[in-house]
């Protein structure tokens, strides 16, 4: 079949060149126009020039108008030809095989698809993205760069999960669904260098939602469990994309406070007064909520297990096949056993940890909170009394420091509400001090001191 060398312009106004096989020049022109190209020049290629173009490959794919396209392309390698079809021709490739292979070998290659080429392209795009960040980071807005990095991590995580699923369930997915998945992956790979982060996130989310609708026909128990894990993971990833969080990263309150300090305090040379005040209270909260790293790891695992149980219950309700339901039931049983074991580990750890704290004389989280309340209530009483005596001197001695009229702020203690505050704060300070200094190791004292403080406060408020 004659070869025709062409120069065309694609929809992005990029000039492309190559060789196309056709019966005649009219057929070559029609084939190029069907791909949406504007033809600049078209001429029959010489035999010698053809050989210089590289290896001839046959391909099939879908163009941007969802039309099936088949043809040949020359390239130095199968991967280079694939990459050119992806980037220049904007095709979602079904297969690409060497033209001079035996028919039976071609069929095997066609059946295998392009998953291996997609992985190579994904790695190349990732390297290009990293290089882009290294070169441009100084010229890009920091907020955008931070969001870009997060979205790139999310996208890489999604692609990794989808590639694993395509490998694991390659024989169990409907060919049409498999091709749709590959189309999604190709689209995301093309968008990775885009600045439209929202569109990239939306496309990734659409891919995950599609995975949840894909029928994966499996009968082996291990594959059923892997299928359930895939559905549960995709649900978690969708939630993470919506919340703008990294996948697999679960933050507790301590993590959120630490992240706030890293973002607002650690990287700044000078702090405003308001930030200093906020940082003071954050540090106090960190003292209270700090959890041993080992215990935190167990708690995060328990939280993840609880989420999986919740997701599996949802899958069980939606499942129509009895065999599939049996697989979900077995997985739920294992997850419940795991939850029971993790709960026991947390209980045992807390018991040992609290015992060690008592032996060392270290404050527990509850005692740290009481220590902070004790300090604050003591300072409140001090400032209350200091201001009270100052106001008494100003109002009774009629000092002329403020002219003829004394500011109303100095008469604040004559209002009805403040007479309740001092005794309540004072009783709180006494109760907490007694707990920390006298009954610290007495567990039963908690059920006497604090209820007594509450009752006395009510009596003050209603009978003073």
In a domain, 145, yes or no: yes
The winner for highest mean pLDDT among 12-26, 164-178, 441-455 is: 164-178
DSSP result, 381-429: HHHHHHHHHHHHHHHHHT--TT-SS--GGGGGGGSSTHHHHHHHHHHHH
Rounded Cα gap, residues 26 and 23, in angstroms: 8
- Mean pLDDT across the chain: 77
- Per the document, the length of the chain is 464
Distance set, CA 395 to CA 303, 382, 401 (Å): 60, 20, 11
Give the model's confidence band at 301: pLDDT under 50 very low, under 70 low, under 90 confident, else very high: confident
CA distances from 44 to 7, 24, 25, 57, 209 (A): 12, 9, 8, 19, 47
Q: Assign 53 a pLDDT band (cuts: 50, 70, 90).
A: low
3-class state of residue 276 by DSSP: helix
Instruction: State the pLDDT at residue 140.
Output: 45
Domain that holds residue 81: 3-113
Mark whether 118 and 195 lie in a shared domain: yes
The neighbouring-strand residues paired with 170 are: none
Confidence (pLDDT) at 408 = 67
- What is the mean pLDDT of the segment spanning 415-429? 77
The pLDDT of 55-66, averaged and rounded, is: 83
Same domain flag for 60 and 50: yes
CA angle 134, 137, 142 (to 5 degrees): 145
The model's pLDDT over 355-403, given as tens digits with 9 standing for 90+, comes to: 766 665 556 667 777 778 888 888 888 888 888 788 777 777 665 555 5
Select from 17, 5, 74, 18 the least CA-distant residue to 44: 5
Residue 417 has pLDDT above 70, yes or no: no
> What mean pLDDT comes out for the span 93-101?
88
Q: Give the pLDDT mean for 270-286.
A: 79
Q: Which residue has the higher pLDDT, 31 or 430?
A: 430
The model's pLDDT over 227-257, given as tens digits with 9 standing for 90+, comes to 777 777 787 788 778 777 666 555 566 777 7
Task: Indicate whether 154 belongs to any domain.
Answer: yes
The reply to whether 131 and 223 lie within a common domain is yes
* 94 plus 159 within the same structural domain: no
Q: Do 76 and 66 fall within a single domain? A: yes
7 domain-assigned: yes
Say if 309 falls within a structural domain.
Answer: no
Could you identify the residue written with the tokens 């096949």?
321
- The band of 49, judged by pLDDT with boundaries at 50, 70 and 90, is very low
Query: 125 falls in which pLDDT band (50, 70, 90)?
Result: confident
432 located within any domain: yes
Of 113, 142, 170, the position where a domain reaches its end is 113
pLDDT band at 51 (very low <50, low <70, confident <90, very high): very low
Residues 70 and 162 in one domain: no
Tell me what the mean pLDDT of segment 162-173 comes to: 84
**Does 22 have pLDDT greater than 80?**
no
> Tokens 């659409």, residue?
206
Q: What is the largest CA-CA distance in the chain?
A: 114
Per-residue pLDDT at 139: 47
The total domain count for the chain is 3
pLDDT at residue 138, rounded to an integer: 47
Same domain, 135 and 224: yes
Confidence label for 415 from pLDDT (cuts 50, 70 and 90) = low
Question: Is the same domain home to 176 and 94?
Answer: no
Q: CA distances (Å), 261 to each of 247, 257, 264, 403, in order?
A: 22, 6, 5, 46
Domain identity same for 52 and 19: yes
Show which of 217, 242, 267 is a domain's final residue: 242
Pick the range with the lowest mean pLDDT from 49-63, 276-290, 339-353, 398-412: 398-412
Once rounded to an integer, what is the mean pLDDT over residues 411-420? Answer: 66
The alpha helices in 62-141, defined as continuous H runs, are 78-87, 103-112, 115-136
| 339 within domain boundaries | no
157 and 93 in a common domain: no
Q: Do 148 and 64 fall into the same domain?
A: no
Residue 221 has pLDDT above 70, yes or no: no
Residue that is last in its domain, among 113, 145, 168? 113
Q: What is the pLDDT of residues 140-149, one digit of tens each?
A: 455 566 677 7
pLDDT of residue 174: 84
Let me know whether 60 and 141 are in one domain: no
- What pLDDT is recorded for position 218? 67
Question: Is 376 inside any structural domain?
Answer: yes
Whether 140 is in a domain gets the answer: yes
């Amino acid at each position: 079949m004659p070869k025709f060398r062409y120069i065309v312009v694609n929809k992005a106004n990029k000039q492309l060149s190559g060789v196309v096989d056709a019966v005649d020049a009219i057929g070559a022109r029609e084939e190029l126009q069907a791909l949406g190209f504007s033809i600049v020049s078209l001429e029959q290629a010489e035999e010698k020039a053809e050989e210089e173009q590289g290896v001839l490959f046959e391909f099939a794919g879908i163009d941007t108008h969802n039309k099936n396209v088949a043809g040949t392309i020359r390239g130095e390698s199968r991967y280079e030809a694939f990459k050119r079809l992806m980037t220049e021709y904007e095709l979602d490739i079904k297969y690409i095989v060497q033209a001079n292979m035996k028919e039976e070998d071609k069929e095997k290659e066609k059946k295998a698809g392009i998953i291996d080429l997609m992985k190579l392209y994904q790695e190349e795009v990732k390297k290009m993205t990293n290089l882009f960040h290294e070169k441009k980071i100084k010229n890009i807005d920091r907020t955008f760069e931070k969001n870009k990095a997060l979205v790139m991590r999310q996208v890489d995580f999604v692609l990794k999960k989808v590639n694993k699923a395509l490998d694991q369930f390659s024989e169990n997915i409907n060919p049409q669904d498999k091709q749709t998945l590959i189309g999604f992956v190709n689209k995301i790979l093309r968008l990775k260098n885009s600045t439209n982060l929202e569109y990239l996130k939306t496309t990734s989310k659409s891919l995950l939602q599609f995975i949840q609708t894909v029928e994966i026909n499996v009968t082996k128990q291990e594959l059923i469990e892997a299928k359930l894990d895939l559905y549960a993971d995709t649900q978690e990833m969708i939630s993470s994309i919506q919340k703008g969080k990294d996948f697999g990263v679960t933050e507790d309150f301590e993590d959120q406070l630490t992240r706030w300090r890293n973002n607002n305090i650690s990287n700044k040379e000078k702090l405003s007064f308001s930030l200093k005040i906020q940082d003071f209270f954050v540090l106090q909260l960190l003292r209270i909520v700090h959890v041993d790293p080992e215990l935190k790891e167990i708690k995060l695992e328990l939280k993840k297990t609880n989420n999986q149980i919740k997701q599996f219950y949802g899958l069980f309700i939606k499942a129509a096949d009895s065999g599939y339901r049996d697989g979900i039931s077995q997985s739920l049983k294992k997850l419940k056993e795991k939850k029971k074991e993790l709960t026991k580990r947390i209980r045992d750890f807390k018991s040992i940890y609290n015992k060690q704290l008592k032996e060392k004389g270290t404050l527990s989280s509850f005692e740290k909170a009481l220590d902070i309340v004790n300090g604050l209530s003591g300072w409140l009483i001090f400032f209350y009394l200091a201001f009270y005596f100052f106001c008494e001197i100003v109002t009774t001695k009629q000092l002329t420091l403020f002219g003829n009229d004394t500011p109303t702020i100095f008469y604040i203690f004559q209002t009805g509400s403040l007479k309740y505050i001092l005794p309540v704060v004072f009783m709180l300070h006494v109760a907490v001090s007694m707990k920390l200094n006298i009954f610290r190791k007495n567990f039963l004292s908690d059920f006497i001191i604090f209820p007594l403080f509450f009752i006395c406060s009510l009596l003050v408020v209603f009978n003073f």
